[in-house]
Structure 1
């Protein structure tokens, strides 16, 4: 996956470059939000493949993955809404937007020690997912030169909104999401960014004091429960993974398939049409293509049950 170039657009900066700038000019704020869309989307195919691989599921791991995927899709859409609110135009309906798996970095140049790939739900894959969602607090905070994290990136975007105070287009097209108010003010923008951050990697303090509600746990902790196969519980004011045991599900194994005709062809066409229609949500106010979302899920599950890895590639024949 590269972090530069986007369908003929100027080269995109790395997350470190955005973070080191501290406050961004308007054009860079638009670039950062386009990068945020790529970053949020890059996690969705690996998480979906893990979810679709679940077979026998005694402790409802698939439900955890479904919730996380839904939130990542919401974060992707919220980043697009923030972009149109300041006069930008999301660009997602092209081959360059889609990551190539396996990859050793997330969009924006965030290196990953464990390669990110499309695989079944296993302990090894959960370790990859925890790496993606790694919080920006200790041990990260103890490093002499801490890496640029996703959390720091969103902090920079939030700070820029507050200090730059960009004009907000009240008539901007946006993807409507349940229980989410539209971006009409800078305060709305900051609250949106806080939501993305808290639902993903968590916020400062959450290693010691995550939300008392299970529904409030950030993705990192939900993945870690599955990885350690123990529930995260609070005892005498302290949190630990010492609760009830968690049994990982049985899964369907799958692998890339080079057969001809391509078994992923219809999946790729559906994905490409979905991205095309989603881009139109922001450019013309069209409604999301919900039918394509369900179709993609059905096709993906079918491929995996046949032992075939969905490709998540752009179909150049889609307009």
Structure 2
């Protein structure tokens, strides 16, 4: 096995912070697609998107537990935490960027690319050269600004490799890797997703279990349809919408044979892709509504930061808050942008830094 790229606790903490950025970066696109659906339509697509959004919150929480366990501090209010969309994720692929847009074939294709099972063919391929212009990259391999991981799965494998290396190094030196305050751990009673439980992290075994749950829920186990808890992986939840049919036990990955499901591609609001505040005239109702949403989303991230840094009981409220944003989102989505025929407004997720505890 090649030497790990993560050889210090500080590097491990940076990787885990990047993992939190990665998990969060999918939430605005998933919520935007979810609430772009006309009320009372597309129930199958709505359910799939909602379940996946909830489980991305679980993944964010699992990474926070690992970061806390090694003495790091999760901070979702940092100026660089939210990407500027379209954004490339640190998964190594060069063929797509993630955007905030309505539920459509293009957005579904992007979601499948985010979650797709990919394993590098060999050790040398785990890192790939990647150069993009004009689009924000969330993170790079530490010490190699032009390198990206082949896949999200490989990114998490590198973190696990670093954990194992540092645990061995610390043990040999008579030191501890897992020095974080146990009171910062999110326990199962503080979060319910319906698909997987929070893993409190206290040692190497629980840290690796938390990271593997993230990978398995996203892409499946070794490309299989179901994760270890017999729940459909995100990739295959989205594939159902593409195929127009549910998976059932015994199905092959590319051949669902369950009951049919209907997708109404036109039953969505025609949102402006990657809308920004600059798209709404200053002083207009849309501009005011966009500012109000951004303030509410900043409050949501501040609440999560507090939950992850010593007030875990707040996470119960945080999960509910994510879906309470619906009213503010739809206040924008239901309204056309003046001067842009056929295009509706959308939340912009442009946040000013928020001081925790202020």
Matched residue count: 293
Q: Which residue of 2 aligns with 1:278?
A: 304
CA contact (8 A) 1:174 1:285 kept: no
Give the CA deviation at 1:212.
Answer: 8.9
CA RMSD of aligned residues (A): 2.8
Task: Spell out, residue by residue over 1:121-147, the C-alpha distance to the aligned partner (whole angstroms, 9 max, x if none).
Answer: 11111111111112114xx64898465
Could you tell me the TM-score, scaled by structure 1's length? Answer: 0.81
Change in Cα spacing, 1:174 to 1:58, as seen in structure 2 (3 Å) is same
Match 1:260 to one of 282, 285, 290? 282
1:72 corresponds, among 39, 56, 65, to: 56
* Structure 1 residue runs without a partner (length 5+): 1-18
Alignment counterpart, residue 261 of structure 2, candidates 246, 253, 263: 246
- Offset at residue 33 of structure 1 (A): 0.5
2:115 counterpart of 1:133: yes
Matched, 1:224 2:230: no
Residue 30 (1) aligns with residue 59 (2): no
Q: 1:45 touches 1:312 (CA, 8 Å); kept in 2?
A: yes
- Quote the residue 2:47 is aligned against: 63
Question: Take 1:143 and 1:284, find their aligned partners in 2: how far apart are those partners?
Answer: 39
Pairing partner for 2:97 from 104, 112, 115: 115
**Counterparts of 1:238 and 1:189 in 2: how far apart (Å)?**
31
1:190-229 correspondence runs (5 A): 190-206=208-224, 210-211=225-226, 216-229=231-244
Equivalents in 1 of 2:18, 2:32: separation in Å?
A: 23
Contact (CA 8 Å) 1:112, 1:131: kept in 2 or not?
Answer: no
- Long gaps (5+) in structure 2: 129-149, 168-176, 336-343
Aligned to 2:142: none
Write the deviation string for residues 255-304 of structure 1: whole angstroms up to 9, x where unpaired.
23422231300000011111122212233426234364344232113222
* Larger displacement relative to structure 2 (181-190 or 44-53): 181-190
> Are 1:167 and 2:178 counterparts?
yes
Quote the Cα distance in structure 2 between the aligned partners of 1:278 and 1:311: 20
Separation of aligned partners in 1, 2:235 and 2:216: 10
Q: Which residue of 2 aligns with 1:6?
A: none
Name the CA distance, whole Å, in 1 between partners of 2:223 and 2:52: 21
Question: Partner of 1:155 in structure 2?
Answer: 157
| Structure 1 residue aligned with 2:191 | 177
Task: Give CA-to-partner distance per residue, 1:35-75, whole Å, 9 cap, x none.
Answer: 00000011111111111111243552111111000001111
* Residue aligning to 1:95: 79
Deviations 1:54-111 (Å, cap 9, x if unpaired)? 12435521111110000011111111111011100112203321111123x11x3744
Deviates more, 1:20-29 or 1:263-272: 20-29
Contact 2:220–2:226 (CA under 8 A) maintained in structure 1: no
Distance 1:264 1:173 in 2: 33
1:202 Cα deviation (Å)?
Answer: 2.0
Query: What is the distance in 2 between the residues matched to 1:44 and 1:58?
Result: 20
